[in-house]
C-alpha cells in the first residue's frame, strides 16, 4: 500500500481543449521510485495529460483532481506545480537564443528553491550532473537548444531534470525524432537520475524506448481513457498487436 502523502495521484480527470473533450476520466497513481509508462496511438490524449498535469492554460479541467504528495495542484500555476516538485520534459523543446544553458538552469533552480543557490554551489552541482550524464562541459555555454540536434535537445531536458531534482517527472515522448544511438544516450541519462525518491511517467508511442527505460507499470491510453494496465510485458504485447484492438468500432484510422 502506498502512502497517500507520497504519490502523484490523478482522480477522474476530464479535460477539454478548445471545447472538445480529450481526456474522459483518467485515474492514475505514480509512486516515488516507480516508472509508469503511458502508451497509445496518435490523438489518444497522451500529451494532453502531460500538459494538463503541468498546468498549461489551454487545457481546461472540467472534472476530477490531481494531487502531488497530498497537495491539490489542480488549480495551481505551472510555477507553483514546479515548486511542489513536478517536472515536464517537452516533446518539442523550444530554443532560447542568447541565453546559455548555465544561466537558464541557474534561473530555473533558483525559481523552485526556497533559498537562492550561490554561484559557486550551482557550478559545482552543474559539473557533477554533467559528469553523471556524460556531457561535455562546453554544453553549459551554448544557447538553450540553439542549433542542437534532436538528441542534444532531449539531453538538455534531462540535464534540467537532474538539476531541478523533482519529486515526479513527466517525459512527453522523449523518444520522438531520435535515432537509435541518440535514443540510447538519452535513455542512459534518464536512468542515471532515477532513484527511490523520483516517480516517473513516461509517455510514448513505441515499445522501443522501454527497452532502455524499464517501466514498472504500463497503461494503455486510447480515446481519452485508460483501457488496459499491466506490467512491462504489456509493452511487448502492444509491439506485436498494436492499438486497433482497443479502438471503438467505426473509429477513423
pLDDT of residue 3: 53
What is the predicted pLDDT for the residue at 4?
55
Q: Domain boundaries in the chain?
A: 8-246
Give the pTM.
0.91
Could you read off the pLDDT of 40-76 as tens digits, one per residue? 998 999 999 999 999 999 999 999 999 999 999 999 9
Beta-sheet pairing, 60-68 with 71-72: antiparallel
How is residue 57 written as a grid cell?
492554460
Strand partners, 201: 36, 170
- Quote the CA–CA distance of 30 and 237 in Å, as a whole number: 22
Interstrand relation of 86-89 and 168-172 (parallel, antiparallel or unpaired): parallel
Residue range 220-242: mean pLDDT, rounded:
93
- Give the mean pLDDT of 3-22: 92
Strand pairing of 96-100 and 60-68? unpaired
Mean pLDDT of 220-244: 92
The fraction of the chain above a pLDDT of 70, given in percent, is: 96
Which three three-digit cell numbers place residue 4?
497517500
Q: Which CATH number fits domain 8-246: 3.40.50.300, 2.60.40.790, 3.90.1170.50, 3.40.190.10?
A: 3.40.50.300
pLDDT at 248: 63
DSSP string, 216-234: SEEEEEETTEEEEEE-HHH
Q: What angle do CA 196, 134, 167 make, to 5 degrees?
A: 25
Amino acid at each position: 500500500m502506498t502512502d497517500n502523502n507520497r504519490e502523484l495521484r490523478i482522480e477522474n480527470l476530464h479535460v477539454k481543449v478548445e471545447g472538445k473533450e480529450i481526456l474522459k476520466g483518467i485515474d492514475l497513481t505514480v509512486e516515488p521510485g516507480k516508472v509508469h509508462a503511458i502508451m497509445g496511438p496518435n490523438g489518444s490524449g497522451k500529451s494532453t495529460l502531460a500538459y494538463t498535469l503541468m498546468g498549461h492554460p489551454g487545457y481546461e479541467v472540467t472534472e476530477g483532481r490531481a494531487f502531488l504528495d497530498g497537495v491539490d495542484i489542480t488549480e495551481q500555476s505551472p510555477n507553483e506545480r514546479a515548486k511542489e516538485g513536478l517536472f515536464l520534459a517537452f516533446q518539442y523543446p523550444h530554443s532560447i537564443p542568447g541565453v546559455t544553458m548555465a544561466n537558464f538552469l541557474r534561473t530555473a533552480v533558483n525559481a523552485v528553491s526556497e533559498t537562492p543557490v550561490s554561484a559557486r554551489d550551482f557550478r559545482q552541482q552543474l559539473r557533477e550532473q554533467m559528469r553523471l550524464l556524460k556531457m561535455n562541459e562546453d554544453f553549459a555555454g551554448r544557447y538553450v537548444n540553439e542549433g542542437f540536434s534532436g538528441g542534444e535537445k532531449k539531453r538538455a531536458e534531462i540535464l534540467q531534470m537532474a538539476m531541478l531534482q523533482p519529486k515526479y517527472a513527466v517525459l512527453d515522448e522523449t523518444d520522438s525524432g531520435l535515432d537509435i544511438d541518440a535514443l540510447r544516450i538519452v535513455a542512459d541519462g534518464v536512468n542515471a537520475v532515477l532513484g527511490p525518491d523520483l516517480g516517473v511517467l513516461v509517455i510514448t508511442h513505441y515499445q522501443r524506448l522501454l527497452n532502455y527505460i524499464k517501466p514498472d507499470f504500463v497503461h494503455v491510453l486510447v480515446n481519452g481513457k485508460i483501457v488496459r494496465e499491466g506490467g512491462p510485458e504489456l509493452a511487448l504485447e502492444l509491439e506485436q498487436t498494436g492499438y486497433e484492438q482497443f479502438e471503438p468500432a467505426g473509429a477513423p484510422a
